[in-house]
């Protein structure tokens, strides 16, 4: 755990643990603390009229391990307002985060749009040529199939698509979730069959052999419980599905039904997904464990989608999502969710630059009225894209020793706080690709002060890019 003391002139010193702040600064009466709304940009994508736009099918694609290949996005669309052919660009399709985890992607044979590499692997790449019109790319993308082998991970995994147009403009990464189930996967609805709590449903699935990839349906209501998903093979790939699965709570919010609300989720199994619920307040389970979602060792490939993380009490030490420092629980994916009123919305902790937290995808979320929006200590392969930040009191994003694969792009920042990159020592390097963000001004990030710009702090060196930047917000505040 790292800490810094700032501003001797402050009335009270601010203690920042790994770029997160534990003091009570959230102005709960501020009328500006309302969800960010975006009614014009699909999938939270920046409204750059020259960039290509990709959309994928909604909903989760269900499959079983070692089943036949299936098209993962037969309704995909591709458009580009000002480019007839994306010659020199690249289409990239990637299954999972990291190695590919036993997944394979295959595109249509002999496409006219360019040179394909990676057929049959977890990453499919097309170097586009002069025939690569948006319509032709769309046709190819709709024909790409997904399959898993007998070694693939159970549970939800993203298939991510990105597209560049050959002129340096890129689409936002978009993805569809594929859920890989076991032979005895179950679906249990809380409130039916004698199951009265979420924890009872979890325990029943844990007692079933071959139940990987099971789901628990949580109807609307308030559940005064802290749910514990232990490290059990049959809980791998478990989905907790609330009434608002598929209804965004992020920068493109949907009309949501009545919520399913509970206090905390403690996870020690891999590939668990939380969808369409509200985590209220969080629970303080000990030092550095005060959180709405706490990810223990083994909780790799965790997904939170269309969720609300809301704290109305003092922020204290509470985080919306936090991982146990130094554990093998990378490859987090958080999309279309709301984080409000926490000391830190999302806090990712690697133990050192040699053992970083690796593989995070945070996209399309709203961060409102937290002390810090997102914190990352010793992180690699982290993408923070298409999020909206409003009324953070100390930092919008705080990064300690970010590696050279950390990207914060397509986000919108207000003037309440800055982005800060720290280095712990003279030998450390802070890398951040912060291009294509809106910094609350048509002229880009501020050159001084806190509102908003990229600050640097520490004795190391920095490699930070902020140009080009968006000249208007991609989201309607």
What is the tens place of the pLDDT at every residue in 398-456? 999 999 999 999 999 998 898 999 999 898 999 999 999 999 999 999 876 656 788 99
Reported as a pLDDT band with limits 50, 70 and 90, residue 322 is very high
Reported as a pLDDT band with limits 50, 70 and 90, residue 3 is very low
Model pLDDT, residue 4: 28
Q: Is the pLDDT of residue 41 over 70?
A: no
Backbone angles phi, psi at 198, to 5 degrees: -65, -40
Reported as a pLDDT band with limits 50, 70 and 90, residue 179 is confident
CA angle 123, 158, 324 (to 5 degrees): 110
Model pLDDT, residue 63: 84
Model pLDDT, residue 68: 87
In the numeric block, the tokens 């005064």 are attached to: 224
Q: Which residues face 155 on adjacent strands?
A: 180
Residues above pLDDT 90, as percent of the chain: 63
Q: In whole angstroms, give the CA distance from residue 241 to residue 255.
A: 17
Backbone angles phi, psi at 59, to 5 degrees: 85, 165
Q: Which residues face 385 on adjacent strands?
A: 363, 409
What sign results for the dihedral spanned by CA atoms 16, 20, 22, 27?
A: positive
* The token pair that represents 358 in the structure block: 């690796």
Most confident range (mean pLDDT) of 26-30, 175-179, 467-471 is 467-471
DSSP state of 121: B
Reported as a pLDDT band with limits 50, 70 and 90, residue 16 is very low
Q: In whole angstroms, give the CA distance from residue 171 to residue 78.
A: 10
* The token pair that represents 240 in the structure block: 């907790």
Q: Beta-carbon neighbour count of residue 131 at 10 Å? A: 14
In the numeric block, the tokens 């953070």 are attached to: 392
Q: Is the pLDDT of residue 44 over 90?
A: no
pLDDT average, residue stretch 109-121: 93
CA angle 452, 456, 460 (to 5 degrees): 170
CB 345 within 8 A of CB 318: no
Choose the weakest-confidence range: 89-93, 154-158, 268-272, 315-319: 154-158
Q: How many C-alpha atoms does 65 have within 13 Å on its Cβ side?
A: 20
Model pLDDT, residue 451: 60
Q: In whole angstroms, give the CA distance from residue 231 to residue 105.
A: 30
Model pLDDT, residue 288: 84
What's the chain's length in residues? Answer: 477
Model pLDDT, residue 328: 61
pLDDT average, residue stretch 45-59: 75
Q: In whole angstroms, give the CA distance from residue 230 to residue 269.
A: 6
Mean pLDDT of the chain: 85
Model pLDDT, residue 344: 97
Q: In whole angstroms, give the CA distance from residue 382 to residue 434.
A: 12
Give the helix ranges, DSSP H, for 79-153: 134-143
* The token pair that represents 164 in the structure block: 């560049």
Reported as a pLDDT band with limits 50, 70 and 90, residue 11 is very low
Q: How many C-alpha atoms does 356 have within 13 Å on its Cβ side?
A: 21
Q: Is the pLDDT of residue 52 over 60?
A: yes
Cα of first residue to Cα of last residue in the chain, in angstroms, is 35
SS (H, E, C) 166-232: CCCCECCCEEEEEEEECCCCCEEECCCCCCCCHHHHHHHHHCCCCCCCCEEECCCEEEEEEEEECCC
Model pLDDT, residue 19: 55
Model pLDDT, residue 219: 98
pLDDT average, residue stretch 387-399: 95
Q: Is the pLDDT of residue 204 over 60?
A: yes
Q: In whole angstroms, give the CA distance from residue 446 to residue 442.
A: 11
Q: Tell me which residue of 376, 290, 398 sits closest to 330, measured CA to CA.
A: 376
Choose the weakest-confidence range: 187-191, 289-293, 452-456: 452-456
pLDDT average, residue stretch 245-249: 92
Model pLDDT, residue 292: 97
* The token pair that represents 289 in the structure block: 């464990």
Q: Is 229 exposed, middle or buried (0-12, 13-18, 19+ CB in 10 A)?
A: buried
Write out pLDDT tens, residues 119-175: 999 999 999 999 999 999 999 999 999 998 878 878 778 898 999 998 888 887 788
pLDDT average, residue stretch 283-290: 87
Reported as a pLDDT band with limits 50, 70 and 90, residue 48 is low
């Amino acid at each position: 755990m790292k800490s810094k003391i700032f501003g001797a002139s402050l009335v009270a010193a601010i203690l920042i643990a790994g770029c997160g702040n534990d003091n009570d600064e959230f102005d709960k009466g501020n009328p500006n603390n309302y969800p960010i709304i975006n009614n014009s940009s699909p999938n939270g994508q920046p409204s750059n009229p020259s960039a290509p736009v990709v959309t994928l099918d909604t909903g989760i694609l269900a499959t079983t391990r070692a089943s036949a290949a299936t098209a993962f996005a037969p309704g995909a669309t591709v458009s580009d307002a000002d480019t007839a052919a994306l010659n020199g660009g690249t289409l990239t399709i990637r299954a999972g985060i990291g190695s590919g985890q036993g997944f394979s992607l295959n595109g249509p044979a002999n496409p006219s749009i360019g040179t394909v590499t990676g057929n049959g692997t977890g990453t499919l790449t097309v170097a586009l040529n002069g025939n690569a019109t948006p319509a032709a790319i769309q046709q190819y993308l709709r024909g790409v199939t997904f399959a898993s082998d007998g070694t693939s991970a159970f549970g939800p995994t993203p298939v991510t698509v990105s597209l560049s147009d050959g002129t340096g403009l890129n689409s936002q990464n978009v993805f569809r979730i594929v859920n890989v189930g076991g032979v005895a996967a179950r679906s249990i609805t809380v409130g039916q069959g004698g199951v009265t709590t979420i924890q009872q449903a979890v325990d029943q699935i844990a007692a079933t052999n071959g139940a990987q990839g099971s789901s628990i349906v949580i109807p609307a209501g308030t559940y005064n419980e802290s749910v514990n998903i232990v490290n059990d093979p049959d809980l791998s790939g478990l989905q907790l599905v609330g009434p608002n699965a598929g209804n965004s709570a992020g920068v493109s919010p949907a009309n949501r039904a009545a919520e399913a609300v509970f206090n905390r989720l403690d996870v020690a199994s891999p590939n668990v997904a939380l969808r369409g619920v509200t985590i209220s307040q969080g629970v303080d389970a000990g030092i550095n464990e005060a959180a709405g979602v706490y990810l223990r060792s083994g909780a790799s490939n965790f997904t939170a989608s269309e969720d609300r993380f809301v704290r109305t009490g003092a922020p204290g030490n509470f985080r919306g999502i936090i991982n146990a420092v130094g554990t093998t629980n990378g490859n987090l994916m958080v999309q279309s969710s709301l984080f409000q009123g926490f000391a830190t919305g999302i806090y990712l902790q690697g133990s050192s630059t040699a053992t970083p937290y690796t593989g995070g995808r945070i996209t399309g979320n709203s961060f409102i009225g937290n002390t810090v929006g997102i914190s990352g200590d010793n992180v690699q392969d982290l993408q923070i894209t298409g999020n909206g930040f409003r009324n953070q009191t100390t930092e919008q994003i705080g990064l300690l020793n970010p590696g050279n694969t950390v990207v914060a792009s397509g986000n919108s920042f207000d003037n309440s706080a800055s982005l800060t990159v720290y280095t712990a020592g003279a030998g450390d390097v802070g890398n951040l690709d912060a291009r294509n963000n809106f910094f609350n001004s048509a002229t880009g990030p501020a050159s001084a002060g806190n509102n908003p710009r990229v600050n640097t702090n520490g004795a190391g060196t920095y490699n930070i890019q902020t140009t080009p930047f968006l000249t208007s917000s991609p989201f309607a505040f």
